[in-house]
Structure 1
Amino acid sequence: MENLALIDSFSEFKDDKQIDRVTLMAILEDVFRNALKKKYGSDDNFDIIVNPDKGDLEIWRNRIVVADGEVEDPNEEISLTEAQKIEPDFEIGEDVSEEVKLIDLGRRSILALRQNLISKIHEHDNTIIYKQFKDLEGEIYTAEVHHIRHRAVILLDDEGNEIILPKEKQIPSDFFRKGDNVRGIIESVDLKGNKPTIIMSRANPIFLEKLFEQEIPEVFDGLITVKKVVRIPGEKAKVAVDSYDDRIDPVGACVGMKGSRIHGIVRELGNENIDVINYTTNLNLYITRALSPAKVTSIKIDEVKKRAEVILRPEEVSKAIGRGGHNIRLAGQLTGYEIDVLREGAEEDVELSEFSDEIEGWVIQEFHKIGLDTAKSVLEHDINDLVKRTDLEEETILDVINILKEEFEE
């Protein structure tokens, strides 16, 4: 019969897409039912018998025998004369089962059926890929650079699945060539149309957390817990770690002798500066540790407003703020508190912003960049030092100092 071994003609899908035979047969039946609906208006009175072992399929149409000339629905009824051509002893009122040959559907229907089958198999394959990668969200994955676009790198894994690494999900120093192996986390998986869109990220804080799990055995084994990770990708990160075993030093275990354990992670992240700190429920101590390498003199905490006023010696202020303000920003993200930095003796000090009517905003901003945001913090520094550390002319700095001195002389 024409239907015999039909599935074998689609064996390339089974081999290429790893689709099991039973699923393929179910898809085949579904496609045939759609073809029957189009040709006959309904598939309710059709039996489709699928045989996965033999790899064939039979279609039978069931109709009721009616008297000649009384056929109202040719799909569900058959005249006595036509029925007796199939079997001479059929009588009115009996059920007739007649096999439908593949050729009976017509050439155009067969072509459409094949196209529909291909589409259904691809749809099934995409659903499997979607589910597979949906389960991998938040996990580290490795794939190879296939080609590089302006706003994204397109990767392929060993199965040929396409993974997108957008520019904004990369570390700023990342540079890839075709054929490079790239590690990142599967950040999101979505079905757009029927095609899964898989997004990888190397900038997500979870990537750093998962690298700790991969590279540090105590984290992998659960002896050390990563409580929180905050990052400015490629620049700086802070990782709070804890251990329920007092015999384990979580920071020491993560960093290793002379940084040996964390070195591989730092290299993977484009030499990102990683501060590992001991987590604690003591908020004062936690904020103090978060501001390292700066040494804090004292802290005042407003738990309602989630603000912390931190007092430091003048020479510690720039350390607390960090290059580009990275250190204080990450400390705030790590602790969940907005941190205000004050110098010792600043109770009688005046914020530089208070002089905005006399000193231009861009000049005040230059002092802010080097951690000087009050009048006394500027006056404590030597003029030559200020010239070296800012982009300001000596004359401009002298004018600022004179304005500030007048404030305190009054």
Structure 2
Amino acid sequence: MENIALIESFSEFKDDKLIDRVTLMAILEDVFRNALKKKYGSDENFDIIINPDKGDMEIWQRRVIVADDDLDLDHLEITLTDARKIEKDFEIGEEVSEEVKLVDLGRRAILALRQNLISKIHEHDNTNLYKQFKDLIGDIYTAEVHHVRPRVVILIDDENNEIVLPKEKQIPSDFFRKGDSVRGIIESVELKGNKPQIVMSRTSDIFLEKLFEQEIPEVADGLITVKAVVRIPGEKAKVAVDSYDDRIDPVGACVGMKGSRIHGIVRELGNENIDVINYTTNTQLFITRALSPAKVSSIKINEETKHAEVFLQLEEVSKAIGRGGHNIKLAGLLTGYELDVIREGSVIEDEDVELSEFSDEIEGWIIQEFAKVGLDTALSILKHDVADLVQRTDLEEETILDVMRILKDELDN
């Protein structure tokens, strides 16, 4: 048989694409049968024999011998005269098998065959790739930065599969260069046309949970269970852990001596501040732990509305709310309750003044920035030093000094 590029490519496809023999032969037969249908109208009387390892194939056409004067001859039949050109002793009614040469299909058909074969192979690869990564959704995966674009980072794994890491799935402090190794979870796999798009995420709560499984042996072994994870990526996270073994301190085991165990996770997440707390089914206690480092005085819970009023001493309010309101937001997400912070003893000291009373002298957005961290009166601000307020809020030192001057002037008068 003619040794054409189509046949030479059999073993190439098998080696490069790692397709098993049965699948490759099925694809090849399907491609050739489609070509035969186009040329002859049917493939029912054709036998295709393929040896992909050697790069050989044969196509045999079976036809019934009819008389030379049969005027309704079709592709299933052959005249007696033509049959005896193949073998002299053929008779009418017998079946003749004759090999069909690829060149008989025509140059254009051969080119179409090769293109169709390549398309089928790619389709097979994409289907397998889709299934492979569909099974990896939620798992940690490592790939290398191939190209950095404004809205997405293109990654390549060890098998040259392309993975995308969109900007919104990156931690705000992430900065990548070509060749960097990146870890994240496979978040989704979608077919875009016939090609699967594999999406990685570093902002998912599941990524942090999987890092605990990967970095902390007791979690990997099932001795410690991660009950809940909530994050503000790159800023702060809270993780509730539990153990069915009373001899194990789940928080201590996760954090490690002087934070040794959790340090690698914190570094992976761009120095994200991670609070690890003991899980409990006692709602009041769980909320109290979730609001750490603040010390809660008491809690009033409405189970129907999933709402809780948390009472704290004045000096604990800013701790409970946290920088930018992160602490109370995450505590609410972790416990599943809407939390309202209430200063214990709702009466404000005689000499104190609500910050909103200074709206003529202090801009509204500045008042709101202080309120976000639980500072809504003059004394609640003045009791802190400037450096502490700069750290707790998103305000500049100069702005804070101006506010403190205005407040002091008012209280001194």
TM-score (norm 1): 0.88
Letter in 2 for 1:142: T
More moved, 215-224 vs 359-368: 359-368
In 2, the alpha carbon distance for the partners of 1:72 and 1:355 equals: 104
Give CA-to-partner distance per residue, 1:100-156, whole Å, 9 cap, x none: 111111111111111111121122122222222221111111111112111111111
Return the letter of the residue paired with 2:375.
L
> 1:364 Cα shift?
4.1
Secondary structure of the structure 1 residue equivalent to 2:126:
helix
Shift of 1:165: 1.1
Determine helix, strand or coil for the equivalent of 2:297: strand
Distance in 1 between the 2:16 and 2:409 partners?
A: 74
- Deviation, structure 1 residue 7: 4.3
Partner residue of 1:254?
Answer: 254
Q: Secondary structure at the match of 1:32?
A: helix
Aligned with 1:370 (options 361, 370, 373): 373
Aligned CA distance change for structure 1 residues 256 and 125 (closer, same or farther; 3 Å): same
Change beyond 3 A, Cα 1:325–1:400? farther
Distance in 1 of aligned mates of 2:293 and 2:383? 26
Give the C-alpha shift of residue 12 in structure 1.
Answer: 2.5
Which residue of structure 1 lines up, in the alignment, with residue 13 of structure 2? Answer: 13
3-state SS of 1:280 partner: coil
- The Cα of 1:83 is off from its aligned counterpart by 2.8
Tell whether 2:272 aligns with 1:272: yes
**Change over 3 Å in CA distance of 1:270–1:80 after alignment to 2:** same
In 2, Cα distance between equivalents of 1:387 and 1:98: 94
The CA distance in 2 between the partners of 1:356 and 1:95, in whole Å, is 105
Deviations 1:180-239 (A, max 9, x none): 111111111122122121111111111111111111000000000011111111100000
Task: Give the equivalent residue in structure 1 for 2:392.
Answer: none
On the 8 A contact 1:5/1:55 being kept in 2, the answer is no
Asked if the contact 1:230–1:330 (Cα under 8 Å) also holds between the matched residues in 2, the reply is yes
Instruction: Identify the residue that residue 206 of structure 2 maps to in structure 1.
Output: 206
Aligned residue for 2:300? 300
Letter in 1 for 2:77: E
1:243 paired residue number: 243
How many residue pairs get matched? 400
* Equivalent pair of 2:185/2:201 in contact (CA under 8 Å): yes
Whether the aligned pair in 2 keeps the contact of 1:145 and 1:179 (CA below 8 Å) is yes
User: Does 2:25 align with 1:22?
Assistant: no
SS class of match (2:175): coil
Structure 1 residue 176: Cα displacement: 1.3
Q: Identify unmatched segments of 5+ residues in structure 1.
A: 403-410
| Aligned partner letter, 1:99 | E
The amino acid across from 2:232 in the alignment is: I
- Normalised TM-score (structure 2): 0.87
How far 1:78 moved relative to its partner?
Answer: 2.4
Separation in 2, partners of 1:269, 1:388 = 25
Q: Distance in 2 between matches of 1:79 and 1:347?
A: 111
Counterpart residue number, 2:37: 37
Cα distance per residue 1:301-341 (max 9 Å; x no partner):
11111111110011111111110011011111111111111
Q: Structure 1 residues 306 and 383 mapped into 2: Cα distance closer, same or farther (>3 Å)? A: closer
The one-letter code sitting in structure 2 at the alignment partner of 1:227 is K
* Counterpart secondary structure, 1:144: strand
List gaps (5 residues or longer) in structure 2. Answer: 390-394
Separation in structure 1 between the aligned mates of residue 250 and residue 169 of structure 2, nearest angstrom: 29
Which residue is equivalent to 1:405? none
What is the identity, as a one-letter code, of the residue corresponding to 1:203?
Answer: T
Q: Where in structure 2 are the equivalents of 1:109-148 lying within 5 Å?
A: 109-148=109-148
Specify the alignment match of 1:407 in structure 2. none
> Which residue in 2 is equivalent to 1:406?
none
What's the offset of the Cα at 1:384?
A: 8.8
